Amino acid sequence: PKKVTLDFISKGHVHFLADTQLEKNIEISDERSGNNKGTVTIHGIVYEDPKTFNDMPVKFIANKTNTNPTPTYNITIKPGWTQQLSVDTEAMGWNGVAQSSPVGFSIPNVTGGTHVEGGDWTLLTFKGKMTENYASPGSENQGFAEEPLMEFTVKGGVEANGNDGLSIKETNTPFGDFKTVFDFANKRLVGSLTKKSTPPPLTLPGININEGAVEFCGDPAGFYVAGGFKTFVTIPFIQGDYNLGFMLGSYTNGGRLKSEVWPLVTRFKDPLVYSECYPNYINWQLKGFYFTLDRILFNVKEDYDFVVAGGGVKAYASVGADIFANFSGKATAGMSAIMKFYLEAYLNAITGTSIEGSLDAQSLFSCYVSGNEFILALMLDLSVHAKIDQWPVGTVFDKTVHGHLGGSTNSGLSFSLGGGGGNRTTNCPTFK
């Protein structure tokens, strides 16, 4: 026969329809060479009813071999076909020409199909590099940062998947560089706005943003908006350099919160006033908001040379504050403040005498309100160190005194004084 009529439905409401507009739509090869016992090929199209994707020209191929008496059945998309994704195209047969469009997206040289497996058809899939359609020459490269390899599966609706996610090209805006990525594997949409460190700063009322980024995310674990910035506040009396960070939302993916979000929020935070009290308190499950800021009050290092003696002084002071509210279970709100002060001095004389000393102080204050419960906690650490060396005798005096004052409304007040360096880590208050 030259022409057959064939219309059947496979999985996902996908129809195969033989192209009866062709003068000949069937090819039969009964050549029995090697293992092959013959092939039947029918030209047609695949479509879905109701329509969710544009019709595609395909070949229906039935093949039988000596080693496998049960025929194999495959449907493959016509080579070189361009599949439009964003605009409807008219139904066309095997000899139809792919329609172009000045808008939307398409997949040139799309590949894919379906086959019989275990006595039933598999789902129809098609894939390729998704490209942007262009209204005019020279308007290329306006959308994707890189053309993503996309795979579409027809399940009575079209499900998309991309191996590396779908990344929209970074766009320069007055507020910074904007970028959006959709991660198909994790069903996650992430957008970011980045202010790079290159001048000039982003100038807003009362504040200049020198560097930083803000990110929003939505996925099955919830959503969040988070950011971290290095700024300069221009308001009189509090003018100076500040490091800011924040996050808000409802997000239960603790692994991502710990590995991606928290480093963004604390990216510019001074390490000496850094703590993980808040994320540990909420067990890395965000259901509220968190705001942090810190400022280096001074950081000075000076060396002196007086011919017969030399010395130096190093001084450092930093303060930080955190404010938060959490709405998991009982609503909880709180704030904490931390201050770090360090002073070091040394003197070397030509007589062989060397004197050095340091003062290291750290304080932490926290208060939480949870339901009808009010919790107050404080901690003060102080270390004083002095050392004297005399040549050729060696060290004649080396002493460190450490004091600790701490307590909360739960545990009461405690005080200790003794030698040694003490615990120089930032202690988080203990709550019920």
CA dihedral 276, 282, 286, 288 (to 10 degrees): -100
Q: For 87-149, give the DSSP string.
A: S------TTPPPPP-SSSEEETT-EEEEEEETTEEPPPEEEEE-EE--SSTT--SSSBSS--E
Q: Provide the token pair at 131.
A: 């490209």
Q: How many residues does the chain have?
A: 432
φ, ψ for residue 279, nearest 5 deg: -65, -35
> pTM of the entire structure?
0.65
CA 148, CA 131: separation in Å to the nearest integer? 8
Contact 409, 377 (CB under 8 A): yes
In the chain, what are the helix, strand and coil shares in percent, each to the nearest 5? 5, 60, 35
Nearest to 305 by CA among 349, 266, 335: 349
- The strand pair at 131-132 and 105-107 is best described as antiparallel
Which residues in the chain show pLDDT less than 50? 421-426, 431-432
pLDDT at 419: 59
φ, ψ for residue 281, nearest 5 deg: -65, -35
